[in-house]
C-alpha cells in the first residue's frame, strides 16, 4: 500500500481494492500497530522511571526542611525572654473618667453644630450618648460643676432639637425622608415608640390647622388649610407600614458609637477614647417599644384625625362664607377648593368626606345668598310705600345748579331730569328705580354665573381614577357640572318666585289699605307710580315669574280713587263759583260749543295735570275719569255749571265718552258736535283718544 493511500473504513478497503490487495493492506496495518505498541511501551517506561526519581528527590528535600525547622525552633526557644503575667489589666479609673468627660464635651459641641447644619438624627444620637455619659459620670465629685454646666447645655439642645423636629414635622414641604428622620430623632430623644411618634405628628398637624383657622377665616387661609389637610392625609398614608418599620430597624442594627455616621466624626476623637469608654456605652443599642397595630386600628386612627380636622375646617368654612355676599365670590371659592381637592381626590383618605363637607357649606351659602338677594326686592319697595307723602318732587328744569354745569355734565343731567319729570318720578322713586335696576341686573347676572358652572372642565383636573373608581369619577364630574348648577338655579328660581310673591302681597296690602282708608290723592298717585315703575321693570325682566294676578284689580281701584278725586276737584272749581255772562245759542256761531263747555274740558285737563302729571293717564284711567266726571256733570241740579245749551251737552257727552244713541236730542246736534269734537279733541290731550284702545 502506498504511503499516500488512506483507508477510511473497512467497506472502503473492499470497495476500492481487490481481495489480494486488501490482505496485503491488512498485514501492513497489523505490522504498523505492533511497531507503534513497542514504541509506546518504551516511552511510558522511561517517563515512569523519571517520575520515581523526582519523588525520591522530594522526599529527601522534605526531610531536610523538617530538620532545619526543628533547629530553628530550638534556637528560638532557647532565646525567649523570661515568663510574664499576660492577663489584661483595667485602665485607671481617673483615665476612664477623663476619657468619658472629654467625649461628653465633644458630643455636646458636635450635637450643637449638627443641629445648626440640620442633621437632626445625628444630633439626637449624640444626645443619647451624652445622656449615658452623664449617667456614668454621676459619681465623679470633682466634675460636678462641669457636669451641671454640660447638663444645662444638653437640656437646651434637647429643647431646640424638639422644636426643630416639630417644625419639620409640621412643614408641608418636608419630604418623606425628612419626616422619617425627624420621627426617628423624636423617638431617640423622648424614648417613644413609633406609634407614639405618629400620634404626636397627627396632633401637631391638627393643632396647626386649628391655629391657622382660628387666626383668620379669610378665603386664602381656607384654601391653604384645605391644601395642608390633604397633604397631611397623604403623608400619614405614606408613613404607615414598611417605611416606618425600616427606619426604626436601621437605628437598632448596630450600637450608636459603631454607626459609621458617628464613628467617622473626627471631632469626637473616638480613635483615642473608644477603648476607654465602658462597654455598656460602647455597645448601647437604642430600644423602642414594639407596637404593631392592626390595619383596622390604623384606619380608625386616620379616620378619627380626618373627622376632627374636617370638623375644624368645616366650622371655619361656615364662618368664611357669610363674608361673601356675591354669588361670583362663592363660585370662585368653590372653584379654588375643588381645584385643590380633585387632583388628589382618590389617593387622599376621606377625600369623599371632604368633598361632601365643602358641597354642603357651599350649597347652603348659595341658597342663603339667593334668598337674601330676593328678599332685597321687598327692602327696595317697602320704604317707598311707607313714605308716600314724604316723596320729594324732582327739581325744576331751570334750576341754577343745572344751568351752570358744563355741556358734558349738564346735558346728561338735563336728559335725566326731563325723563324723570315726564315719568313723574320723585327723588325717592328715582333712587328706588336705580336700586331695582341694579337688583334685576345682579339677579340676571347670577343666573348667567350659575350657567357658567357647566362649562368648567373638571375632567381635566380630577385625579386619574383606578379601574374600580371609574363610575365614581363619572358621578363626581356630573355632580360638579350638572347637579350643582341645576340645584343652584332652582334655589335662585325658588327664591325669586318667593320674592315676587312677597312683593305682590306687600303692594296689594298697602294698596288695599289706601283704598279702604284713603288719605290724599298724592298718596294714591305716588303708590300708582311705584307700582308702575316696579311691575313694568320686573315683568320685562322676568316675564314667566312676574305675572302679578292680584295687582290689576287693586290698581283699578286706585285708578277709581284718582278719577273720583279729579271729579271732586272739577266740581269744586266750577260749582258755586261766579259765572261769566251766559251765552245764548243765538250769540254763538252755528255748531260750536259755548265757552262754558269748552272751559269745562280745559279745567278738567288742568286738574288732571295737577293731580297725575303727564305720566299717570293711561287710557283705562282716562276712561274712569270720563266716567266719573260724566256721571256728575250731567245731573240736572249741577248741569248749568258745566254747559249752557243742548249742543254743549252733546259736545261734552261725546268728549266724555257717554252713550248718545238713546239721548232724546236732535240727531243733527249729535252729528255736528261729533264733527266739532273731531276737529278740536287734540286740544285736550289724552281726553281726545277713543276709549277701549288699551294702554
pLDDT tens figures, 547-582: 788 888 888 888 888 888 888 888 888 776 655 555
| Signed CA dihedral, 176, 182, 187, 190: sign only | negative
pLDDT at residue number 678? 87
- Residue 608 near residue 568, CB atoms below 8 Å: no
Torsion of the alpha carbons at 539, 543, 546 and 549, rounded to the nearest 10: 100
How far is residue 67 from each of residues 74, 77, 576, measured CA to CA in Å?
11, 16, 175
What is the pLDDT averaged over residues 31-51?
A: 80
Tally of residues, the chain: 695
- Say if 695 falls within a structural domain: no
Cell of 648: 254743549
Percent of the chain with pLDDT over 90: 11
pLDDT at residue number 336? 92
Same domain, yes or no: 37 and 122: no
pLDDT at residue number 80? 65
Place of cell 505492533: 34
pLDDT at residue number 210? 92
pLDDT at residue number 206? 92
- pLDDT, tens digit, 9 for 90 and up, residues 118-139: 899 989 989 998 898 888 887 7
DSSP 8-state code for residue 395: P
pLDDT at residue number 96? 79
What is the pLDDT averaged over residues 108-115?
A: 90
Confidence of residue 157 (pLDDT cuts 50, 70, 90): very high
First and final C-alpha spacing in the chain: 147
- Say if 339 falls within a structural domain: no
- Residue 647 near residue 593, CB atoms below 8 Å: yes
Confidence of residue 231 (pLDDT cuts 50, 70, 90): very high
Distance separating alpha carbons of residues 346 and 341, to the nearest angstrom: 9
- Say if 517 falls within a structural domain: yes
Query: Could you tell me the maximum CA-CA distance found in the chain, to the nearest angstrom?
Result: 190
Could you tell me which of 550, 570, 561, 559 has the C-alpha nearest to residue 517?
Answer: 561
Same domain, yes or no: 63 and 111: no
Could you tell me which of 344, 86, 323, 60 has the C-alpha nearest to residue 228?
Answer: 344
Cell of 136: 456614668
- pLDDT, tens digit, 9 for 90 and up, residues 620-646: 888 898 888 888 888 888 888 888 888
Residue 598 has pLDDT above 80, yes or no: yes
Same domain, yes or no: 515 and 568: no
Same domain, yes or no: 147 and 228: yes
Same domain, yes or no: 122 and 239: yes
Same domain, yes or no: 166 and 235: yes
Distance separating alpha carbons of residues 176 and 182, to the nearest angstrom: 10
- Say if 439 falls within a structural domain: yes
Same domain, yes or no: 386 and 480: yes
- Say if 116 falls within a structural domain: yes
Same domain, yes or no: 108 and 199: yes
**Helix and strand totals (H; E) in the chain:** 26, 0
Range of 387-396, 443-452, 665-674 with top mean pLDDT: 443-452
Report the 10 Å Cβ neighbour count for 641: 17
What is the pLDDT averaged over residues 102-116?
A: 89
What is the pLDDT averaged over residues 101-106?
A: 86
Q: Exposed/middle/buried for 347, CB within 10 Å: 0-12, 13-18, 19+?
A: middle
Distance separating alpha carbons of residues 540 and 546, to the nearest angstrom: 9
Same domain, yes or no: 53 and 104: no
Q: Which residues contact 49 (CB under 8 A, 6 or more apart)?
A: none
What is the pLDDT averaged over residues 173-196?
A: 89
Same domain, yes or no: 171 and 124: yes
pLDDT at residue number 2? 58
Percent of the chain with pLDDT over 70: 85
Same domain, yes or no: 319 and 435: no
pLDDT at residue number 692? 38
- Say if 398 falls within a structural domain: no
pLDDT at residue number 3? 56
Across all residues in the chain, what is the average pLDDT? Answer: 81
- Say if 625 falls within a structural domain: yes
- Residue 70 near residue 115, CB atoms below 8 Å: no
Could you tell me which of 687, 552, 572, 676 has the C-alpha nearest to residue 627?
Answer: 687
- Say if 357 falls within a structural domain: no
Same domain, yes or no: 493 and 381: yes
Distance separating alpha carbons of residues 643 and 599, to the nearest angstrom: 9
Residue 693 has pLDDT above 50, yes or no: no
Confidence of residue 389 (pLDDT cuts 50, 70, 90): very low
Residue 694 has pLDDT above 50, yes or no: no
What is the pLDDT averaged over residues 647-673?
A: 76
- Residue 104 near residue 126, CB atoms below 8 Å: no
Could you tell me which of 489, 486, 488, 465 has the C-alpha nearest to residue 476?
Answer: 465
pLDDT at residue number 223? 92
Half-sphere exposure (CA, 13 Å, Cβ side) for 538?
24
Tally the domains of the chain.
4
Which residue range(s) make up the domain with 575?
A: 563-688
Q: Which residues of 105-130 are buried (b: 16+ CB within 10 A; e: fewer)?
A: ebbbebbbebbeeebbbbbbbbbbbb
pLDDT at residue number 475? 87
Q: Which residues contact 369 (CB under 8 A, 6 or more apart)?
A: 324, 325, 326, 327, 330
Cell of 40: 509506546
pLDDT at residue number 162? 93
Amino acid at each position: 500500500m502506498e504511503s499516500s493511500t488512506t483507508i477510511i473504513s473497512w467497506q472502503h478497503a473492499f470497495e476500492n481494492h481487490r481481495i489480494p490487495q486488501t490482505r496485503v493492506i491488512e498485514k501492513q496495518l497489523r505490522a504498523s500497530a505492533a511497531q507503534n505498541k513497542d514504541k509506546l511501551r518504551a516511552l511510558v517506561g522511561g517517563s515512569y522511571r523519571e517520575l520515581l526519581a523526582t519523588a525520591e528527590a522530594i522526599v529527601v528535600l522534605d526531610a531536610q526542611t523538617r530538620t532545619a525547622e526543628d533547629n530553628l525552633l530550638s534556637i528560638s526557644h532557647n532565646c525567649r525572654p523570661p515568663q510574664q503575667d499576660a492577663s489584661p489589666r483595667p485602665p485607671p479609673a481617673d483615665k476612664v473618667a477623663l476619657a468619658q468627660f472629654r467625649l461628653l464635651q465633644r458630643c455636646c459641641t458636635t450635637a450643637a453644630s449638627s443641629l445648626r447644619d440640620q442633621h437632626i438624627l445625628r444630633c439626637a444620637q449624640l444626645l443619647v450618648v451624652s445622656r449615658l455619659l452623664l449617667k456614668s459620670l454621676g459619681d465623679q465629685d470633682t466634675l460636678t460643676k462641669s457636669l451641671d454646666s454640660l447638663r444645662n447645655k444638653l437640656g437646651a439642645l434637647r429643647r431646640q432639637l424638639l422644636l426643630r423636629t416639630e417644625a419639620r414635622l409640621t412643614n408641608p414641604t418636608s419630604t418623606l425622608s425628612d419626616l422619617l428622620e425627624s420621627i426617628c430623632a423624636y423617638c431617640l430623644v423622648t424614648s417613644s415608640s413609633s406609634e407614639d411618634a405618629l400620634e404626636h405628628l397627627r396632633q401637631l398637624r391638627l393643632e396647626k390647622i386649628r391655629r391657622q383657622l382660628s387666626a383668620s377665616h379669610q378665603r386664602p387661609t381656607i384654601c391653604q388649610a384645605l391644601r395642608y389637610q390633604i397633604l397631611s392625609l397623604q403623608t400619614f398614608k405614606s408613613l404607615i407600614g414598611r417605611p416606618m418599620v425600616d427606619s426604626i430597624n436601621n437605628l437598632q442594627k448596630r450600637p450608636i458609637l459603631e454607626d459609621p455616621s458617628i464613628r467617622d466624626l473626627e471631632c469626637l476623637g473616638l480613635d483615642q477614647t473608644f477603648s476607654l469608654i465602658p462597654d455598656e456605652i460602647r455597645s448601647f443599642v437604642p430600644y423602642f417599644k414594639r407596637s404593631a397595630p392592626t390595619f383596622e386600628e390604623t384606619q380608625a386612627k386616620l379616620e378619627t384625625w380626618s373627622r376632627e380636622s374636617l370638623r375644624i375646617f368645616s366650622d371655619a368654612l361656615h364662618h368664611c362664607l357669610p363674608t361673601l355676599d356675591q354669588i361670583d365670590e362663592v363660585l370662585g371659592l368653590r372653584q379654588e377648593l375643588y381645584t385643590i381637592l380633585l387632583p388628589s381626590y382618590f389617593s387622599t383618605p376621606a377625600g369623599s368626606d371632604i368633598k361632601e363637607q365643602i358641597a354642603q357649606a357651599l350649597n347652603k351659602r348659595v341658597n342663603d345668598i339667593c334668598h337674601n338677594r330676593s328678599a332685597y326686592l321687598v327692602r327696595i319697595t317697602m320704604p317707598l310705600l311707607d313714605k308716600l307723602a314724604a316723596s320729594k318732587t324732582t327739581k325744576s328744569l331751570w334750576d341754577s345748579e343745572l344751568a351752570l354745569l358744563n355741556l358734558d355734565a349738564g346735558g346728561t343731567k338735563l336728559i335725566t331730569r326731563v325723563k324723570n319729570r315726564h315719568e313723574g318720578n320723585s327723588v325717592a322713586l328715582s333712587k328706588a328705580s336705580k336700586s331695582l335696576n341694579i337688583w334685576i341686573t345682579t339677579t340676571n347676572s347670577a343666573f348667567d354665573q350659575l350657567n357658567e358652572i357647566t362649562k368648567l372642565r373638571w375632567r381635566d383636573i380630577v385625579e386619574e381614577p383606578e379601574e374600580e373608581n371609574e363610575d365614581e369619577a363619572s358621578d363626581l364630574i356630573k355632580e360638579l357640572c350638572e347637579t350643582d348648577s341645576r340645584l343652584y338655579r332652582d334655589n335662585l328660581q325658588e327664591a325669586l318666585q318667593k320674592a315676587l310673591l312677597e312683593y305682590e302681597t306687600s303692594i296689594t296690602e298697602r294698596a288695599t289699605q289706601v283704598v279702604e282708608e284713603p288719605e290724599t290723592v298724592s298718596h294714591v298717585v305716588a303708590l300708582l307710580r311705584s307700582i308702575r315703575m316696579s311691575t313694568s321693570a320686573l315683568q320685562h325682566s322676568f316675564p314667566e315669574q312676574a305675572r302679578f294676578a292680584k295687582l290689576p284689580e287693586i290698581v283699578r281701584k286706585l285708578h277709581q280713587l284718582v278719577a273720583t278725586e279729579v271729579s271732586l276737584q272739577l266740581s269744586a272749581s266750577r260749582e258755586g263759583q261766579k259765572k261769566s255772562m251766559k251765552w245764548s245759542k243765538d250769540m254763538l256761531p252755528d255748531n260750536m260749543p259755548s265757552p262754558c263747555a269748552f272751559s269745562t274740558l280745559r279745567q278738567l285737563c288742568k286738574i288732571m295735570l295737577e293731580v297725575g302729571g303727564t305720566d299717570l293717564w293711561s287710557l283705562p284711567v282716562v276712561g274712569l275719569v270720563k266716567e266719573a266726571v260724566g256721571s256728575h256733570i250731567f245731573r240736572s241740579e249741577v248741569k248749568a255749571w258745566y254747559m249752557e245749551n243742548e249742543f254743549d251737552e252733546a259736545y261734552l257727552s261725546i268728549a266724555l265718552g257717554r252713550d248718545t244713541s238713546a239721548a232724546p236730542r236732535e240727531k243733527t246736534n249729535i252729528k255736528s258736535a261729533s264733527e266739532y269734537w273731531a276737529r278740536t279733541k287734540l286740544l285736550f290731550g289724552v281726553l281726545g283718544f277713543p276709549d277701549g284702545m288699551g294702554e
